Amino acid sequence: MHTYVFDQFRHTPRLLLTSVIEGEGKTTALDLLNQLAFNAEKCEHITGAAVMRLANKVQLTLLLDEGDNLNLVREPMFRAVLNAGYKRGGKRTITVRDEPVTYNVFAPIALACISTLPGPLMRRSIVIPMKRATREEIRNLSPFDEEEPQQKEAFYFVRRELAIWRQRCKLKLDRLDTHPSMPQLLPSSPADAWRPLIACADACGPEVGQITREAAVAISGWGDNPRVLLLADLRTVFGTPIEKLSKPHAVNTGEHLATVSVVAELIAINELWAEWAGENNDQTPRKLTAGILAKLLRGWVRSVTLWPMLRRDDSRSAKGYQRADLEKLWATYCPDMSPDAGTPAQPNIISYLRHRSKRHD
């Protein structure tokens, strides 16, 4: 539905289908979208220049399979096209025969790939981790075949109804609220991506709209910057009783924690920090270190020298972080939306990891 009316919104999210291994249904899902999305164009082994020209030529939906073979990490122009096309008015200018030519690249795009993509593109995406159906589930499924008469008729019917709905929306005969109410628990960046889909769901009725809002909260997470996600995890760390921390230290109190304890606890509670691959997911995975933690928090808070409360001659100083330095950041970047005031909210990084899955090179 979104692909039929995407031009009425400020953003058009990328739909990213990921899996750990081959054969988990990504290509079949794109084939299905190819039958239902507006003016769909399914491509494999395409270049950034071709995407730019296709998006500029006609209003269409691009379906890019084998995304892990597009070499997006090493193709900045390709990444720029996909990122710029996320927002209305997105353009790319290149030189053709010594003359600058500007292309409009605003278009809905779906990608399928093994593993994940560069961070900025992930944050513009609604990420669906695909998993192979069990034998029991397969027994209840029909094989996909776009030429099978019943399926062909069903696809035609849906496309026809969506085309009529698109025209009615353009003529203002059907109400399409382009600024629907958004779930409070949905961070700002994923809210931008989900807004068009929630608007389309509301057009189907309040029950569908509510289901979509719940789904958005349940599966979102990549939209937040990793530094914001780190803040959410730090709130969980500071909310953990001192005696339950993975790595105790003499300086730890309810108001400040040693860096060694903070790092160990972050790694223990979240796989992201156990296999940190950089803010753009383009580095060799490794465990979080005190240096990486300080770099991620740079500009917000500095580590300080802490001493044990009861200092002895043999006691040593330790670097650490103060709760007071983080509380204002928590209130600004990841406010606690939990029903029980005063209790740490569950970090939205959990959903972030659900979609991130394992990095595979």
338-349, pLDDT tens digit by residue?
444 333 333 343
The whole-angstrom separation of Cα 4 and Cα 94 is 29
Task: Write down the pLDDT at residue 358.
Answer: 42
Task: Write down the pLDDT at residue 123.
Answer: 79
Amino acid at residue number 6: F
Task: Write down the pLDDT at residue 76.
Answer: 82
Residues 6+ apart with CB under 8 A from 340: none
Task: Write down the pLDDT at residue 359.
Answer: 42
Task: Write down the pLDDT at residue 218.
Answer: 81
Task: Write down the pLDDT at residue 360.
Answer: 40
Task: Write down the pLDDT at residue 88.
Answer: 92
- Name the helix (H) or strand (E) containing 28: helix 26-36
Residues 6+ apart with CB under 8 A from 272: 226, 229, 349, 352, 353, 356
Domain limits, CATH 3.40.50.300, in the chain: 2-142
Task: Write down the pLDDT at residue 313.
Answer: 56
Give me the sheet containing 304-306, strands edge to edge.
256-258, 318-322, 304-306
CATH topology (fold) of 2-142: Rossmann fold (3.40.50)
Residues of the chain where predicted confidence (pLDDT) is lower than 50:
223, 338-361
Task: Write down the pLDDT at residue 266.
Answer: 94
The answer to whether 219 and 127 have CB atoms below 8 angstroms apart is: yes
Task: Write down the pLDDT at residue 272.
Answer: 84
List the beta bridge partners of residue 109.
Answer: 14, 62
146-184, pLDDT tens digit by residue?
999 999 999 999 999 999 999 999 998 888 999 999 988
On average, the pLDDT of the chain sits at 84
263-305, pLDDT tens digit by residue?
999 999 888 899 898 877 668 889 999 999 999 998 888 777 7
